Amino acid sequence: MMEEKILEVSDMKIHFPVYKGLVFRKQTACVKAVDGISIDLKQGETLGLVGESGCGKSTFGRTVMRLYDPTAGRIRLNGKDITHLSGSDLEEFRVSCQMIFQDPYASLNPRMTVFDIIAEPLRTHKIFGSRQELEKEINELMNLVGLSPRYIKKYPHEFSGGQRQRIAIARALAIKPKLIVCDEPVSALDVSIQSQIINLLIDLQKELGLSYIFIAHDIAVVKHISDRIAVMYL
């Protein structure tokens, strides 16, 4: 199981064009956010990704999720080339990958209840049956991430930072992904809460056989969770 590669990225480049002029837009330069990165990730493994601010970690994570298109290079998931997927193939791919973001205040819709937040990906991908089944599923997800299902009708502002990140994790797990890109998931949290969330991620990985790309500034945080660490610079 451990030997199977879930993700292979080869020589990925992501450049953003820079334009000048409002009417006659002319490309004057480009920001080389990521310039030639190759990594691979085995099933059930955690790859830590560290590097200074602005070196392109988030851009890399988002591109693996196909939120950005790479300028060059290739991404393979479970042996399948996903670099140029579009339309329904891309939708299908999105079920196997999820992302957790740094700021649990910004990443949760303040107008939605916990129920609706966690149900959203299930509704989007049309993977639920009756309302009753959906409720049961969301109760289970809340238990899984250590949140009491009593809070199911509450809104994000009623929770602490750590609890909000648990909600975000439950949402990410709802569609049973195999790969999760964690983009600085604990950087916005108190140090005392950070280890709780990291331990939760480790437990979930063991239980569900997840693979993680774990992005962080701080090598100490990454060391604890990662099997291998990649360092990005410039």
Ligand X SMILES: Nc1ncnc2c1ncn2[C@@H]1O[C@H](COP(=O)(O)OP(=O)(O)OP(=O)(O)O)[C@@H](O)[C@H]1O
Q: At 104, which helix (H) or strand (E)?
A: none
Scanning 45-86, the segments in alpha helix (DSSP H) are 57-64
Q: Which CB sits closer to ligand X, 18 or 90?
A: 18
Q: Which does 117 bind (CB under 5 to 8 A by kind): ligand X, Mg ion, none?
A: none
Q: What angle do CA 207, 91, 47 make, to 5 degrees?
A: 40
Amino acid at 110: P
Residues of this chain that interact with ligand X (CB under 6 A) are 16, 31, 33, 51, 53-59, 217
Least spacing, CB of residue 223 vs ligand X, in Å: 17
Among residues 209, 213, 206, which one has the least CA distance to residue 228? 213
Least spacing, CB of residue 217 vs ligand X, in Å: 6
For helices 114-124 and 131-144, the axis angle rounded to 10 degrees is 110
* Entry field: residues in the chain: 234
Rg (CA), the chain: 18
Least spacing, CB of residue 34 vs ligand X, in Å: 7
Least spacing, CB of residue 53 vs Mg ion, in Å: 7
Enumerate residues 32-91 that contact Mg ion by CB under 5 A. Answer: 58
Is there a contact between 40 and 5 (Cβ–Cβ < 8 Å)? yes
Q: Which CB sits closer to ligand X, 32 or 125?
A: 32
Q: Which CB sits closer to ligand X, 55 or 180?
A: 55
Q: Which does 178 bind (CB under 5 to 8 A by kind): Mg ion, ligand X, none?
A: none
Q: Which CB sits closer to Mg ion, 24 or 233?
A: 233
Residues near Mg ion (CB under 5 A) are: 58
